[in-house]
Amino acid sequence: MKARVLSGVQPSGSLHIGNYLGALKNWAEIQTQYESIFCIVDLHAVTVYQDPKELLGKIRETAALFIAAGIDPKESSIVVQSSISGHSELAWLLTCVTPLGWLQRMTQFKAKAEQQETVGSGLLQYPVLMAADILLYQANIVPVGDDQAQHLELTRDIAQRFNSLYGETFTMPATRLPAVGARIMGLDDPTQKMSKSATGAGHAIGLLDEPKTIQKKIARATTDSEPAVNSERMGPGIVNLFTIGHACDASITKESVTGMRYGDFKKRIAEAVIARLEPIQKRFREITSDAAYIDQVLTTGRDRVLPLAADTVRKTKQAMGLYVQGIG
C-alpha cells in the first residue's frame, strides 16, 4: 500500500512564488509515489476576516492553480476543507486534549495576533484544526514550507497525547521540507517571509502576474550596495533572488551568476521565473474557461476521501467513549 500524503493552502489571497516553490511544485513531483490529498483550507482562511463576496472565487482559483501547477486530479484528491464535516468535528475532539499553553507558544499565532485589533479564538485554535486535517486522513507525510514545521511538531504532540490517553488511534505524520525554496522571502524586505497577507505591491511575485510585472518587481527588489554578485558573500536580497532563480531553472548556479552586475543578474532571474510560470498561467486560463470543471474535480475529490474521514471520526469518538450510532 502507498503511504499517504496530505497538505493544504489557504485561499486567503493570491498564491505567490513562495507557495509554488515551498509547496505546490513538490506536491506535483511526489504525487504519483503516494496516495495524495491536497486541501484548500477555507476554514483556516476565515480565522481572519475574509470578504464573503470574494472567498468563493478564491477557493475556485486556488483549486485551478493546484491543477495548473501540475497536480493531476486523477492522481490526487483535491478537496475543499469545509466540504467535509470531519475536519471540524475532529478539530473539536482534539481541542479537548490540547493544553492552552501549547497553542499560546506558537510563533505564527503570536505574530498574527499582534496584527489584529481583536484576536479571535479561531486564530488560537488554528493549529488544532491543522492537526485535524492531517490526522483525519492518517497521513504519513506532510510536505510544507518551513514556516509550518512548528505546527507539524504540535500535530505530533497532539496525536501522541491522544494515543496515550485513549489508545492507538492516529498515525504519526512526518514533515517533508523542500530541498530548495522552503522559505522564500519578500522582494521588498528579504528579512520577512513572502506572504499572501503582506500589502506592498513589490512584496510577492504572484503566480498569475504578467511577465512585465514580474520584471518590474524583480528589478526593484531590495539588494545591497555591492555592484555585482559575489558568490562568497551574498547579502540576503541576493540570496533570495538566487534561490528563486535556481529553483525555477537549475542552470542558474552560483558559478553561473558570479561576477554578474546586479542589473543583469536580476534580468536573468526574471527570465527564469517568467519561463517557469508561463505554462502554469496558460493551463490556468484553459482550466478556468470551463466553469463546471473545477466543481466537478472538487466533488470527485470529496467523494473519494469521505469514507476515510468518516472512519477516523468514528474511531476517534469510539476511543473516547462517545455515542456512535449503531454501536452498543
Residues binding ligand AMP (CB under 6 A): 9-10, 18-19, 22-23, 144-145, 147-148, 181-184, 193-196
CB atoms within 10 A of CB 171: 17
Among residues 25, 112, 217, 266, the one annotated as catalytic is 112
Alpha helices of the chain — where are they, by DSSP H?
Answer: 17-19, 25-30, 42-45, 52-68, 86-95, 100-104, 107-115, 121-136, 149-166, 211-219, 236-248, 254-257, 262-288, 291-320
Closest distance to ligand TRP from the beta carbon of 253 (Å): 29
193 binds, among ligand AMP, ligand TRP, none (CB under 5 to 8 A by kind): ligand AMP
Q: Which does 130 bind (CB under 5 to 8 A by kind): ligand TRP, ligand AMP, none?
A: ligand TRP
Quote the least distance from Cβ 315 to ligand AMP, whole Å.
Answer: 27
Beta partners for 175?
142
Smallest separation (angstroms) from ligand TRP to the CB of 25: 15
Where does this chain bind ligand TRP (CB under 6 A)?
A: 6-8, 10, 41, 44, 130, 133-134, 142, 144, 148, 151
Distance of alpha carbon 42 from alpha carbon 10, whole angstroms: 6
266 binds, among ligand AMP, ligand TRP, none (CB under 5 to 8 A by kind): none
Cell numbers representing residue 12 in the block:
486567503
Q: How far is CA 140 from CA 2, 35, 136, 175, 289, in A?
A: 10, 10, 11, 9, 36
Annotated active-site residue 112? The verdict is yes
Catalytic residue among 25, 58, 196, 266: 196
Alpha-carbon distance values, 307 to 302, 311, 312, 314, 320 (Å): 9, 6, 9, 11, 20
Shorter beta-carbon distance to ligand TRP: residue 44 or 266? 44
- 193 catalytic per annotation: yes
Which residues are catalytic, by number?
A: 112, 193, 196
